[in-house]
Structure 1
Amino acid sequence: MKIAIGCDHIVTNIKDEMVQYLEAGGHEVIDCGTYDFERTHYPIYGRRVAEQVVTNEVERGIVICGTGVGITTSANKVQGVRAPLVRDVTTAKMAREQLDANVLGIGGRITGLGLMQEIVDVFLSTPYVETEESKQLIASVDALASTSRGLDGDEIFDEFLEKWEAGCYVD
């Protein structure tokens, strides 16, 4: 399976471990960054992964940040993405079976690596089970997404990146 993966600077090492794990499992991985521990703006990487999924360049996506909340929320802003924040195997399974989830959100500081690998395995191997109820639910969820404002690429983050570089954001 072809998978896109992205993270923020807090969990780059965990993302790198997951890339190795996925490749060892026979998957092709598109690493959307970030690639180091220099402070960065996580929505960029959530969006990059999500866009890979909705343009069908990959089959699934994985986004990771400290808690998983921010980057998962960012991925969900891309129309066509259904990204649950998952902390257990059952949620990963149900998200695939019932919602045809296509991007997996994980908290790298919340979920241990072994459990994360198990969650990813279940997320990638569980098929979507289409029913009338699930089709209606997915259509309702997808209808909530707004259309693009006509902005292409990462330039929508320029304002925030300028503030970042000026030192406006601190840990």
Structure 2
Amino acid sequence: MRISIGCDHIVTEIKNHVADYLTKKGHKVIDNGTYEKERTHYPIFGRKTAEKVVLGEADLGIVICGTGVGISISANKVKGIRAALVGDIETARYAKQNLNANVLAMGGRILGIGMIEDAIDVFLETIYEATPENKALISKIDSIPMSEEAINANHMFDEFIEKWDKGLYQD
């Protein structure tokens, strides 16, 4: 599998470890940096990593920063990316299985290397279940407009709020 990876300067060593880990497992790693400990900005590397996925140069992506929050938000700005910030194995499984996440995001200062490796393994091994419900959820996510004009005039969830108010959603 071709895996695009990227990080900020805070977790360069962890990204390097992940690259070696993936290579030893037989994957082709596309390392988008950063490569140094010199201060940089995670949006650059979140975007670079995500672009490789949407352009078809990589099958999946992995992004890491201190908490994983900033770099996951940055990756999600690339149209076609579904980056999931995970902190446990079950979330990694769910993200891939139900939401067909194509980028795994993690906090290098939050998770230990063992958890990072386990989350990667589960994410890569899990197969997306293309059920009608999962497809519908992804379609709804993909249809959320991103322009300021669309946001200001947005009533796309009115139908669902109305159903909620009527008690039609049951867990």
TM range (shorter): 0.7 to 0.9
Gaps of 5+ in 1: 148-171
Q: Equivalents in 1 of 2:72, 2:145: separation in Å? A: 15
Q: Which residue of 2 aligns with 1:107?
A: 107
Residue of structure 2 equivalent to 1:87: 87
Q: What does residue 41 of structure 2 align with?
A: 41
Offset of 1:145 from its aligned partner? 5.3
Corresponding position: 1:68 with 2:75: no
Q: Which amino acid in 1 is paired with 2:103?
A: V
* Distance in structure 1 (CA, Å) of the matches to 2:102 and 2:142: 12
**1:136 — aligned with what?**
136
SS in 1 for 2:129: coil
Change (3 A) 1:50 1:146: same
Tell me how many residue pairs correspond in the alignment: 147
Letter of the 1:50 partner, please give it. A
Distance 1:89 1:39, change over 3 A: same
User: Match of 1:16, as an amino acid?
Assistant: N
Name the amino acid aligned to 1:52.
K
- Once residues 26 and 141 of structure 1 are traced to their aligned partners in structure 2, the CA distance between those partners, rounded to angstroms, is 33
CA distance in structure 2 between the partners assigned to 1:62 and 1:24 by the alignment: 16
RMSD value over aligned CA atoms? 0.9
CA distance in 1 between counterparts of 2:35 and 2:74 reads 19
Identity among equivalent positions (%) equals 57
**Distance apart, 1:73 and its partner CA:** 0.5
- SS of the residue corresponding to residue 6 of structure 1 reads strand
Q: In structure 2, give the amino acid aligned to 1:135.
A: K
The question of 1:12 aligning with 2:12 is answered yes
Q: TM-score, normalised by structure 1?
A: 0.84
User: Separation in 2 of the partners of 1:101 and 1:42?
Assistant: 20
1:28-51 Cα offsets, whole Å, 9 max, x none, are 000000000000011000000110
* Partner AA of 2:55 in structure 1: T
Structure 1 residues 58 and 145, CA, compared in 2 at 3 Å: closer, same or farther? farther
2:5 partner SS: strand
Alpha carbons of structure 1 residues 145 and 80: separation in structure 2 relative to 1, 3 Å = farther
Q: In 2, distance between residues paired with 1:118 and 1:145?
A: 34
Assess if the C-alpha contact under 8 Å between 1:43 and 1:71 holds in 2. Answer: yes
Q: Confirm or deny: 8 A CA contact 1:77 1:145 kept in the other structure.
A: no
Structure 1 counterpart of 2:96? 96
Q: Deviating runs (4+, > 4 A) in structure 1?
A: none
Q: Which has the larger radius of gyration?
A: 2
Q: Residue in 2 aligned with 1:119?
A: 119
In structure 2, distance between residues paired with 1:31 and 1:65: 14
Q: How high is the TM-score relative to the length of structure 2?
A: 0.84
